[in-house]
Amino acid sequence: MAKDTITDLLERVACGEVSVKDARTALEDSSLTEEQMDAAINHGVFNPAEPGTIISASLAPSGGSALVMLFFTWGIFWTIYWIGSMLYGLLNGSAWDQQQLSYHLSMGLTTIILMGIVQLKWVLPDKLIVKHRRPKHVPEHQKDWREYKW
């Protein structure tokens, strides 16, 4: 993607190649009208997308990486362990109290939530398909009775 002059200058200031004073000096003679500045700020933010457009915020990493697969294997193991031990304590009729049962349930649900967060972050693509709805029009209900006037 081509960078404009201001973005390039800001990146150089951030890296330390150009001082802030030199950047201000370089931008002193530039002038924008208020309409041009508003258009530059709002460009891409408030422009409506065409229906069917695929917008990609960033390239999502592959969901098949070894670390993600290892995490899901770990998550499935611990979910089965916590939920299985909770069911054992619940159905066995042993001396497990509600506190221990709720601890096992919460640990199982926490593991499932962590797996969901990893799936949302590293597995699902970061794309959005723009769809526009048609305006809703509800027709007036036709009367199927007669109005008698006295």
Q: Name the residue ranges covered by the structural domains of the chain.
A: 1-43, 66-129
Query: Tokens for 35?
Result: 């309409």
Instruction: For residue range 40-79, list pLDDT tens digits in order.
Output: 666 655 666 677 776 665 555 565 688 889 999 999 999 9
Residues facing residue 127 across a β-bridge: 56
Local structure of 94: helix, strand or coil = coil
Task: Using CB atoms within 10 Å of the CB of residue 100, give its burial: 0 to 12 exposed, 13 to 18 middle, 19+ buried.
Answer: middle
User: Cα separation of 112 and 117, whole Å?
Assistant: 9
Read off the pLDDT of residues 50-61 as tens digits, 9 standing for 90 and up: 777 766 655 555
Of 53-57, 72-76, 105-109, 137-141, the poorest mean pLDDT is in: 53-57
Question: At residue 11, does pLDDT exceed 90?
Answer: no
What phi and psi, each to the nearest 5 degrees, are found at residue 128?
-135, 130
- The encoded tokens of residue 92 equal 């066995």
Contact 53, 128 (CB under 8 A): no
